Amino acid sequence: MKIKESLLSRRDFFTGLIYGSLCSIAAYIAYPVARFLFHEKKLPLPKAVTMTMADIEKLAPNSSAYFQYGYLPGILVRTESGDLKAFSAKCTHLDCNVNYNSDTKTFHCACHDGYFDINGKNIAGPPPTPLPAFTVKQEGDVMVITGPEEGGEKIKTA
């Protein structure tokens, strides 16, 4: 029975209260479930990686090789003048691995036709930012490669 002045009958109000309390129980239990599903797992990246000079010497000018930097793929390039440059091999567009083209001296991403120049800058195609650069330094008889430079592009942690 509902009186003219009220929005709801007493019974409907009560039913609403019941559904409300059931929804609040559902939300109370859904919170831990949601936290469970959105678990941020931080994969560690190493401080640096080393390569033997013997392996480096095998790299001819104007050619590239890949290396593992923690969970990231890296690409090491020896330019025609003999300099060594290292970049993250993940295209900044949608994370495909890039390829070094020795004819055009650019990095090419086959997934969506993205291009980066020899310094890692994005020059054509969809990539929005340059390839993050690694520092390459010789220390004694090993080559030490460290993560992106300070102030450069930060590699996204997982």
Partner 1 sequence: MEEQNIQVKKALDERLMLGALIDLARKKLVPVHKHTIWYYMGALLLILFMIQMITGPILLFYYKPAAETAYQSVAEIMVKVPYGWLLRSVHHWASNLMILVAFVHFFSTFLVKAYRRPREFAWLTGMVMFLLVLFLGYTGYTLPFDERAFFALNVGTDMPGAIPVVGAYVLEFLRGGAQVGAHTLNRFFALHVGVLPLALLAVLAIHIILVQMHGMSIPLSIEKKAQQEKKKIPAKPMFPHFVWHDAVNGLVLVGLLFTLAVCMPSELGSIIDYLKPAPVGVKPDWFFLWVYQILKWIPTYVLGIEGEIVGITGLAMVAAVIFCAPFVDWKSQRNERSPLFTAFAVISLTVFLVCTAIGFFF
Partner 2 sequence: MKRILASILLLACAALFTASFFAGAPAHAEEAAAVKIIPTTEIKTEEGSGAGIISAEEVEKARAITAERIYWLIGLWLLIVLAAVLIRWQLRDDDKLYHEGYYSREL
Size of the site for partner 1 (CB under 8 A): 13
If binding is defined by CB under 8 A, does position 55 make contact with partner 2?
yes
The reply to whether 1 sits near partner 1 by the rule CB under 8 A is no
Q: Least CB distance from residue 36 to partner 1, whole Å?
A: 5
Cα–Cα–Cα angle for 83, 144, 115, nearest 5°?
Answer: 50
Per-residue binder mask for partner 2 (CB under 8 A), 112-151, x = binder: --------------------------------xx------
**Alpha carbon of 137 to those of 28, 118, 141, 147: distances in Å?**
54, 18, 11, 12
Cβ-based neighbours of 135, under 8 Å, separated by 6 or more = 86, 145, 146, 149
- Does position 3 bind partner 1 by CB under 8 A? no
**Binding string, residues 15-54; x marks residues near partner 2 by CB under 8 A:** x-xx--xx-xx--xx--------------xxxxxxxx---
Residue 132 near residue 89 (C-beta atoms within 8 A) = no
17 touches partner 1 by CB under 8 A = no
8 binds partner 1 (CB under 8 A): yes
Is residue 112 a contact partner of residue 93, using CB atoms and an 8 Å limit? yes
Report what 47 binds from partner 2, partner 1, none; CB cut-off 5-8 Å by kind.
partner 2
Q: Who's near 45: CB < 8 A, 6+ residues apart? A: 69, 70, 71, 72, 147, 155, 157
Please say which residue, 95 or 129, places its beta carbon nearer to partner 2.
95
State the residues that interact with partner 1 by CB under 8 A. Answer: 2, 7-8, 22, 25, 29, 32-33, 35-37, 39, 41
